[in-house]
Amino acid sequence: MSFLAPRGSLMLDVIFLAMLLVVPVLLWSIWQVRVRQKFSLHRQVQLLLAVVLMGTVLAFEIDIQFFTDWKEEAAASPYYCDDSWNAVWTALSVHLSFAVPTLVIWIVVVLRAVRGFEKPPSPGKHSASHKRWGRIAVVGMTGTAVTGWIFYWMAFVATKS
């Protein structure tokens, strides 16, 4: 049962809302390091975001594998049909092409940052690589959120008239 959309599940709603929080917090954390040079604050916020994101991915997988048949929930969408390729599948494919690489890049960026920077963190030998991959991770996460919201709306909000 969804509390936000006509269809879906509680967990899908939680993920939808979590991403609404993650993107602005992520941009704020980048601003803190870029403009205000608050390296330790950036580290703490990024580690917290990593925990929130891992929890979200885990909760989503448990829900989709064991509790919610998303295709059944999407059946009333005008963009979905059971027997052929449809716009909901396209939206899901675009979303996954952001989400899967972003998850891998995210884990690698965090692990390398924790190992590569001093404690407390400050610019150093790892900076150039971290900035490059950090920016790719930010673009990937923003794309994951936006394409996820589009998929959510098409599958669980839009309704056949």
60 binds ligand HEM (CB under 6 A): no
Interface residue with ligand HEM, options 36, 71, 125, 131 (CB under 6 A): 131
36 binds ligand HEM (CB under 6 A): no
Question: 125-141 burial, b for 16+ CB within 10 Å, e for fewer?
Answer: eeeeebeebbeebbebb
Q: Helix (H, G, I), strand (E, B), or coil: what is residue 105? A: helix
- Please say which residue, 34 or 71, places its beta carbon nearer to ligand HEM: 34
* CA distance to 31, 38, 42, 151, 155, per residue, from 28 (Å): 5, 11, 9, 26, 30
Region near ligand HEM per CB under 6 A, out of 7-15, 73-81, 86-94, 124-132: 124-132
- Please say which residue, 20 or 47, places its beta carbon nearer to ligand HEM: 47
121 binds ligand HEM (CB under 6 A): yes
Region near ligand HEM per CB under 6 A, out of 58-66, 71-79, 103-111, 149-157: 103-111
Interface residue with ligand HEM, options 15, 70, 80, 134 (CB under 6 A): 134
From the number of C-beta atoms within 10 Å of its C-beta (0-12, 13-18, 19+), residue 103 rates as: middle
- Please say which residue, 71 or 131, places its beta carbon nearer to ligand HEM: 131
Residue 18 CB, nearest approach to ligand HEM (Å): 16
Please compute Rg for the chain using Cα positions. Answer: 18
98 binds ligand HEM (CB under 6 A): no
Please list, in sequence order, all residues whose beta carbon lies within 8 angstroms of the beta carbon of residue 148, skipping any fewer than 6 positions away.
15, 16, 19, 95, 99
Residue 16: enclosing H or E segment and its boundaries?
Answer: helix 10-34
